[in-house]
Amino acid sequence: MSKKLTCPSAAVFLAMLFSCATYAQSQPLGIFDGHTDIGVIKHKGTVTYNTKTQQYEVTGSGADMWYDHDEFHFVWKKVKGDFILRTNGAFLAGDEPNRKFGLMVRKTLETNSAQVNVMVHGMGVTAMQYRKVTGGQTAEDRTAVISADVIQLERKGGTYYMSVAKKGDVFAPEQKIDLDLGDEVYVGVYACAHNADKVEKVLYSNVRIITPAPADLVPYKKYVGSAIELLDMNTQNSRVVYQSPKSLQAPNWMKNGKSLIYNSDGTLYKFDIATSTPVALNTNPAKNNNNDHVISFDGKMLTISSGDGGPSIGYTVPIGGGTAKAVTTKGVGASYMHGWSPDGKFLVFCGERGGEYDVYRIPSNGGPEVRLTTTKGLDDGPEYTPDGKYIYFNSVRNGLMQVWRMDADGTNQTQITNDDYNNWFPHISPDGKWIVYITFLKNEVAPGDHPFYKHVYIRVMPAAGGPSKVVAYLYGGQGTINTPSWSPDSKHIALVSNSDLLFPVFPIANK
């Protein structure tokens, strides 16, 4: 059984919103239980939670967080077991050069508690600070990253790991400290003015308290919870719009810009974003669908993949549901559907034929399939560009999994990414300007695999060429963005993250 947070179930969501704990306020705090000033504070701290953007504004005073005691404002939740804390942070107001924001784990809410925190200093210093025993002296380990915008603090057993980055960069090498704070701890975000006479304000975005999969979890047999998020590609702020203790996978954005289609437990669902309402789609006789499903460019049809009783077969079905028509042939090997041609005449898919996985093209009404890649090793995730000229895909042919491109007829196969990561599932924005893809760490994942429950990045690069940048730092993997997930206006993507912690999500229509 996985270790869970103190309040993991849907039944306690309303209680979380209006906590009566000594330190809590009477306003919604999102994923947190309460907030309090730590130590003797001249100016009372505050927190405001925006239910629409899911961002937090935290103000705090306090003289410092150092030596044998701390003074700051803390927004917290009590947690047991292993966890991952992550957030984007930025100062909003104030001018004290020594002010601080960050992530905190404390044994108690007393001023001299043992603790560990990731701190971003007003002058840019970024460090892991810690007090090993109650009343002990504070120490720190600095990182080379200056003025980090993205910070993460992870607990595995009795070890705490710090990861930090400038927004858009991958994390710098992690730093760690062995520290015994007890199993149940206070975790959260904070603001410290470093000047008892001043108040500083911090904006926190993408705040996550993640309960990861237990070490003994059996893949594809047991699952942790899922969240569908909508990521603003301009601000990189991501909002959770739906959650489930089940596995949710591969959200596609529908042509109307108001709904998604996703997979869960072998069923496809249409999800209305405004009301947070999913409705199952009829795809008979395809009843055991996987997460390889794609909407046609005109928004009228789906191609889906179903492995009911055997290897996956490709089908087409009307966008609103109906009788599924088999497109690929049963018995020749598995077929995983990934893309439509813009004119709707062809489908491209990853096909297993004779033990090799390659990219194939087939008429959308059925017919002879054409093999487009022939190299040894896995070629997967094929997708047409909106102008129909190219097909992007990912290939392990040169060692690590990388993004490739070829002409629509399979010629001129060219490697697009070339780095020290494993890059999967390139998706081209509807306006043709951007490519988004998911990145796995090579020290966590073999090049030919894309499993659940890993540390991953969502990265974007210009379609015309240029450097990639990180737009989301996630705990996810399989099902996060397996299939096209751009909004029709190319301003957002839909994705799936994973955690056993659920928190209140307010339907957009009610905001």
Ordered structural domains, the chain, with CATH: 10-210 (2.60.120.200), 226-233+247-510 (2.120.10.30)
List, for residues 239-290, the tens digit of each pLDDT value.
Answer: 999 999 999 999 999 999 999 999 999 999 999 999 999 999 999 999 899 9
- pTM for the complete prediction? 0.93
Give the pLDDT of residue 501: 76
Q: Could you give the dihedral angle defined by the CA atoms of residues 401, 397, 388 and 326, in that order, rounded to the nearest 10 degrees?
A: -90
Q: Cβ neighbours of residue 356 under 8 Å, at least 6 residues apart?
A: 376
Give the per-residue SS3 of 44-88: CCEEEEECCCCEEEEEECCCCEECCEECEEEEEEEECCCEEEEEE
| Contacting residues for 233 by C-beta, under 8 A, at least 6 apart | 434, 436, 460, 471, 490, 491, 492, 493
Q: Are the CB atoms for 256 and 446 separated by under 8 Å?
A: no
Q: Are 15 and 510 in contact (CB under 8 A)?
A: no
CA dihedral 102, 502, 424, 316 (to 10 degrees): -150
Which residues are CB-contacts of 51 (< 8 A; sequence separation ≥ 6)? 28, 30, 504, 506, 511
Structure tokens at 152: 């993460």
Residue 172: the pLDDT is 98
Q: Does an H or E element contain 166, and which?
A: none
DSSP assignment of 340-392 = E-TTSSEEEEEEEETTEEEEEEEETT----EE---SSS-EEEEEE-TTSSEEE
pLDDT tens profile 385-422: 999 999 999 999 999 999 999 999 999 999 999 999 99
- Given this model, what pLDDT does residue 95 score? 86
Q: What is the pLDDT of residue 392?
A: 98
Query: Which residues of the chain have a pLDDT value below 50?
Result: 1-26, 508-511
